[in-house]
Amino acid sequence: MADQYRKLHIVVFPWLAFGHMLPALNFSFLIARKGHKISFLSTSRNIDRLPKLPPDLEKFVTFVEFSLPRNQNLPENAEAASDIPDEKVKYLQLAYDGLKEPIEEFLQKTSPDWVFHDYVPYWLPSIASKLEINTAFLSTFNASTLGYLGPASNLNGTEDSGRKKVEDFTVKPEWVPFHTAIYPKYFEVVRNAIAITGSEESVADFYRCACCIESCDIIAVRSCFEFEPEWLKLLEELHQKPIIPIGLIPITDEFATSISNNTNASNWSFIKEWLDKQKKGSVVYISFGSEAKLNQADLTEIALGIEFSGFPFFWVLKMKRGDGDNDKIQLPHFFEDRTKDRGMVYTSWAPQLQILNHESVGGFFTHCGWSSIVEALQFGKPMILFPFAGDQPLNSRMLEEKKLGFPVPRDEFDGSFTMNSVSDSLKLIMTGEEGNIYRDRVREMNRVLFDHGVQDHYVENLLAFLQNYKKIQVGISDQRQNS
């Protein structure tokens, strides 16, 4: 039993996107609360932008800063995906790959018990293995997304996945034995093509993910049995290695305070004053995350749809992605003048957690990032779905399947939509009789997923596994030698 209480040193190394860094840091705080040592690795500018450590965790969590190698195709100070347009993310990945040697030196010097890594550093598991350090693929994707991606041998091309044309990606994978509609549409596959094929400059996301899955010791999934039992079981069958759900990692009050203290949170009083004036459950909160930026055509249709719906709204609108983004977009002429009595457009950082938790907010118009979905469920808000890229289309299908959100209807092939489809979707979720099932399901799921102790159970289960892992492996090895 002694091993069960052994304190661990765990390295956490997320991808350079806030949708990955923030849940990884929140996860680190939960582990540190149990008395384990965390080394959180990232680049200097990102660490400056992350929440500060609570005083009582300073002896358990250490931020380890690395200088991001320069890449001539990246703007100066671009260290996160939100700092750059989509087409430059591949150069950020190349710069990230340049951290290979300093990361190896750090691991050799510190000899941690475990490294929890994201899907991008496909080179990291082999380094850790050479140094006899255990590795966990820390999946900030949910189980259904990993299940759709399939076996590592299919992702890295060593076996034929049967996916040769765009249409092959738009159906239920052959390895999924149960009924599901969690797969992307034609236009979503086309928009994600570089993740599948890669480019001349950078390795494909599919290949990166495959290497991480294939070479890690365990897969730690940001999910839970209460939400995706069938998908978690499928992952065990696909990968033949331990699949450890770590819970949804909801934002704690402490972590929310840490975020607010490191951002422009002084505006919350102004936002709260506006929300306080609105009727309970009447406001549509609109945010498409830290990275997603609308093109002009989509922005115009969404704005007109919001206006035509007649609902009060609070819209956090990203107008550009970093200093290197020269693609200007603008709201329809006089939109803000016409809606000033019932809506607000906010173009800087806004405290999403506090907004979602406000009683005047009745629905969330979202890009379907997994962190945003967890926050919506945490505060019991039904969702209007408008996915962009990455895992977002799969998340959207999952929410549709579970009746937790309703998608804005779009053309299957080009992704086009109209202001009327936006307006109708908002009406359905906010007040429509057909929306009752979504509002009821979100409240039901909120009670199940965020019951006191659920998240702590998953953390305790993970730690028990990590603490006993080496003993289990040694036991297996001894058995083989004796047989």
Query: pLDDT (tens digit, 9 = 90+) per residue, 216-236?
Result: 999 999 999 999 999 999 999
Among 189, 222, 251, the domain-final residue is: 251
Q: Is residue 467 part of a domain?
A: no
| Percent of all residues in the chain with a pLDDT value above 70, rounded to a whole number | 94
Q: How confident is the model at residue 483 (pLDDT cuts 50, 70, 90)?
A: very low
- State how far the Cα of 352 lies from the Cα of 263, in Å rounded to an integer: 12
Which tops the pLDDT comparison, 217 or 350? 217
| Percent of all residues in the chain with a pLDDT value above 90, rounded to a whole number | 79
> Which pLDDT tens digit goes with each residue over 265-294?
567 888 999 999 999 999 999 999 888 889
Q: Is residue 257 part of a domain?
A: no
User: Coil, helix or strand for 16?
Assistant: coil
User: Coil, helix or strand for 231?
Assistant: helix
Predicted confidence (pLDDT) at residue 393 exceeds the cutoff of 50: yes
Among 221, 251, 281, the domain-final residue is: 251
Q: Is residue 169 part of a domain?
A: yes
Are the C-beta atoms of 374 and 396 separated by less than 8 Å?
A: no
Predicted confidence (pLDDT) at residue 68 exceeds the cutoff of 70: yes
127-136: Cβ within 8 A, 24+ apart: 127/100, 127/103, 129/215, 131/104, 131/107, 133/107, 134/217, 134/218, 134/466, 134/469, 134/470, 135/215, 135/216, 135/217, 135/218, 136/216, 136/217, 136/218, 136/219, 136/220, 136/244, 136/466
> Which pLDDT tens digit goes with each residue over 156-177?
777 776 788 999 999 999 999 9
Predicted confidence (pLDDT) at residue 260 exceeds the cutoff of 50: yes
- State how far the Cα of 346 lies from the Cα of 348, in Å rounded to an integer: 6
Taking residues 66-75, report their average pLDDT: 94
> Cα(first)–Cα(last) distance of the chain, in Å?
26
Q: Is residue 50 part of a domain?
A: yes
- CATH code at 196? 3.40.50.2000
> Which pLDDT tens digit goes with each residue over 312-324?
999 999 887 776 6
Asked whether residue 235 falls in the same domain as residue 271, the answer is no
- State how far the Cα of 234 lies from the Cα of 226, in Å rounded to an integer: 15
Of 1-5, 134-138, 333-337, the one with minimum mean pLDDT is 1-5
Asked whether residue 114 falls in the same domain as residue 175, the answer is yes
Question: What residues make up the domain containing 20?
Answer: 7-251
Question: Residue 476's pLDDT is what?
Answer: 41
Predicted confidence (pLDDT) at residue 52 exceeds the cutoff of 50: yes
Question: Residue 108's pLDDT is what?
Answer: 97
Q: How confident is the model at residue 478 (pLDDT cuts 50, 70, 90)?
A: very low
Asked whether residue 232 falls in the same domain as residue 342, the answer is no
Taking residues 139-157, report their average pLDDT: 92
Asked whether residue 234 falls in the same domain as residue 281, the answer is no
Predicted confidence (pLDDT) at residue 2 exceeds the cutoff of 50: no
Of 152-161, 296-305, 409-418, 447-456, the one with minimum mean pLDDT is 152-161
Question: Residue 482's pLDDT is what?
Answer: 44
Among 218, 251, 284, the domain-final residue is: 251
Question: Residue 69's pLDDT is what?
Answer: 95
The whole model's pTM is what? 0.92
- State how far the Cα of 221 lies from the Cα of 149, in Å rounded to an integer: 14
Asked whether residue 42 falls in the same domain as residue 183, the answer is yes
Question: Residue 263's pLDDT is what?
Answer: 59
Number of domains in the chain: 2
Q: Is residue 460 part of a domain?
A: no
Asked whether residue 286 falls in the same domain as residue 204, the answer is no
| CA 397 to chain CA centroid, nearest Å | 15
> Which pLDDT tens digit goes with each residue over 371-389?
999 999 999 999 999 999 9
Asked whether residue 371 falls in the same domain as residue 222, the answer is no
- State how far the Cα of 271 lies from the Cα of 268, in Å rounded to an integer: 5
Q: Is residue 477 part of a domain?
A: no
Asked whether residue 206 falls in the same domain as residue 285, the answer is no
Q: How confident is the model at residue 475 (pLDDT cuts 50, 70, 90)?
A: very low
Residues in the chain, overall count: 483
Question: Residue 319's pLDDT is what?
Answer: 83
- Give the β-pairing of 114-117 and 134-139: parallel
Asked whether residue 230 falls in the same domain as residue 294, the answer is no
Asked whether residue 277 falls in the same domain as residue 375, the answer is yes
Backbone angles phi, psi at 350, to 5 degrees: -130, 145
User: Coil, helix or strand for 167?
Assistant: helix
Q: Is residue 458 part of a domain?
A: no
Average pLDDT along the chain: 91
Q: Is residue 341 part of a domain?
A: yes
